[in-house]
Chain A
């Protein structure tokens, strides 16, 4: 028994030595072979011992035969003019500086939000980093560019947007394919770090799927409508039909549709008006019973947005004003009948100086599933921009919820961007 154990140990040691000396592939093969041999040993000790002794005897010095030499790599002839031995030949995969030229523009934007005060209905954590957005943007080829916005949240990572844009298609079309924020109004198209508040308006929370909004995989086509008077752009979008709480598809044919018509006009070089009409349609989740869409209910959303901007060009970095409003009507089918719920917000943001902004917002919205109850809110904001790449915001928010409770909160937000200089949003 002791002799057999010694032999087993010797075999293992020999095998280990052999493994260390061989390549990874051989190592793996040796381990598998050894495992099989040990199994066999368990079944028939004497037979295996004999086999091992025989095998050991066959090996000179107890060493396994050397691994066959790797076949010589075929070498290509260096073409004329390619540099030759003295010249610099391209080394593909080499992490040299030139290989980074085609890397996309990268940036990360942190969005830190704190909340104090009491809110029984929709309490946000006292301190949170709800979103860190990483963006990757580059030209794909002569015909397209691509944009990716990855959202790193406390729940995980998701592609907030990821799409290819064909900017110069025939017929004056601008096409995006991928996951995009739908062109429903203004707030829905805006990432969290772009909006002038620490939160989203109640109408967005109640009727347009909150922070995520209508964001889905789909195809978007936009075209300018030529006319002598105003800028007019029509956008049509088809999505898979899954947007959080708002739309849910149970069949391939349950696509959601979004349409947007935008009109813009310069009243003067300092003042302009932006008007939009939006429509969205899709299947909702109200008809689901035990995971099956029994009701086959749909939701229609109608939106109206208006923005007035004032920015005197000679003092454009010091003073500006933006007035915004968005109104949404949600027509949601559900068990018990259709609910038609309206909601809106009105806001004004004034730039006090180069680094200081202040704003007011008034919110009012019914609930999508019960048009008879309403939430209302008012907010005051003060924002400080240390530079183009960071901002600090405080927001006093008073909300009266339909449940009867009132929330008085102070939200504070730190936003900070590193990396490539992004374009300003208009």
Chain B
């Protein structure tokens, strides 16, 4: 009997220690730093946000570390990029989280891709002969500020649903973000305006939304197919295409080797530019608006050198 009392006492003590105080912030876990940044914009001090992936790491290949299971186990909300970006690593984290709130389809599971503009949705027969294609479309959609706005809306609505008492707070935070984003967009558009129609090459298909938004024309990729490393024959073809079309810029993500892009650039007399595909991809890109500040300004200054405009 005494033992039962002690056991019950320990369990109660553990429950008290582990229970979240009623006034505590919502715990949100996101798969990428971009989604964490957008959640912070909307959630402010009413949320505590962590991200699994870093901005300078390939988001396809985040490792499902046990320390991430701990983060997932405590989360009230999971926000993911979706479109199979995280298919190689997120399912085991959800399965091991022991957290009913963030299971697929539960109220704390938010796929941010449901109301955004998705590009490159494949049509017709898809096979892995095409490389590691994403059947549901290109998942790098957050690199369009318009999609950032839509993601923030979805986060606002979900946070309001999970914490109705703070609905006005989240709405006000969103409105403020929306206003700042709109002002920045005017600035970015003006900065990029002289370079509309400029042809470039990128390493991976990470940039279709970004390039479409700012009017750049991607004519080829360093990867012969998504997820397939550069091959000599493809590299030669690409050099030929770049020479023919007068393309002088190769945009590379920070997690790819620049050896091949630099070899190509030296052949065509062009430049290799490392842009940040995500918040945290570089120190200067500490939040969502700064991500575009960095990318737009870096890209524009490089294009200015190349084009002389």
Contact = CB atoms under 8 A, between A and B. Distances in A.
Interface string A290-325: 000000000000000000000101111110000000
Contact of A167 (B61, B96, B229): B96
Contacts of B70: 224, 231
A199 interface: no
Interface string A410-425: 0000000010011110
Contact of B56 (A168, A224, A314, A426): A314
B301 interface: no
Instruction: Assign chain A's interface to a size class.
Output: 35 or more
Contacts of A168: 97-100, 103
Nearest to B256: A317
A229 B11 CA distance: 20
A317 B69 CA distance: 22
A133 B88 CA distance: 18
A224 B57 contact: no
Contacts of A422: 88
Give the residue among A139, A168, A316, A318 with the most B Cβ atoms within 10 A. Answer: A168
Contacts of B91: 423
B73 A224 contact: yes
Contacts of B100: 167-168
Instruction: Assign chain B's interface to a size class.
Output: 35 or more
Interface string A394-417: 000000000000000000000000
B139 to A, nearest CB: 13
B65 A426 contact: yes
B61 A314 contact: no
Contact of B254 (A167, A224, A274, A314): A314
Nearest to B97: A167
Contact of A316 (B73, B87, B255): B255
Contacts of B84: 421
A389 interface: yes
Interface in A121-161: 139, 142, 145
A266 B255 contact: no
Nearest to A168: B100
A262 interface: yes
B57 A426 contact: no
Give the residue among A142, A173, A262 with the most B Cβ atoms within 10 A. Answer: A142
Contact of B92 (A173, A314, A355, A426): A426
Give the residue among B14, B66, B84, B89 with the most A Cβ atoms within 10 A. Answer: B66
Given A387-B128, A387-B227, A388-B227, A266 B65 contact: yes
Nearest to B55: A313
A226 interface: yes
Given A167-B98, A167-B103, A423-B91, A231 B69 contact: yes
B63 A311 contact: yes
Contacts of B95: 145, 165, 167, 174
A172 B63 CA distance: 23
Contacts of B183: none
The binding surface of chain B is classed by DSSP as loop
Contact of A264 (B65, B128, B257): B65
Interface string A244-263: 00000000000000000010
Nearest to A387: B228
A169 B95 CA distance: 12
A262 B70 CA distance: 13
Contacts of B61: 316-317, 424
A174 B96 contact: yes
Contact of A426 (B64, B87, B106): B64
Interface string B58-102: 100101111101100100000000001001111110111111100
Interface of B: 14, 17-18, 54, 56-58, 61, 63-67, 69-70, 73, 84, 87-92, 94-100, 103-106, 128, 131-132, 227-229, 254-257
Interface of A: 139, 142, 145, 165, 167-169, 172-174, 223-224, 226, 231, 233, 262, 264-266, 269, 272, 274, 311, 313-318, 354-355, 387-389, 418, 421-424, 426
13 contacts: A139-B105, A167-B103, A168-B99, A172-B73, A231-B69, A269-B54, A316-B58, A317-B58, A354-B257, A388-B88, A423-B91, A424-B63, A426-B63
Given A387-B132, A389-B128, 15 more contacts: A167-B96, A167-B98, A168-B103, A223-B98, A224-B69, A224-B98, A226-B17, A231-B66, A264-B67, A265-B67, A274-B66, A421-B132, A423-B88, A424-B61, A426-B66
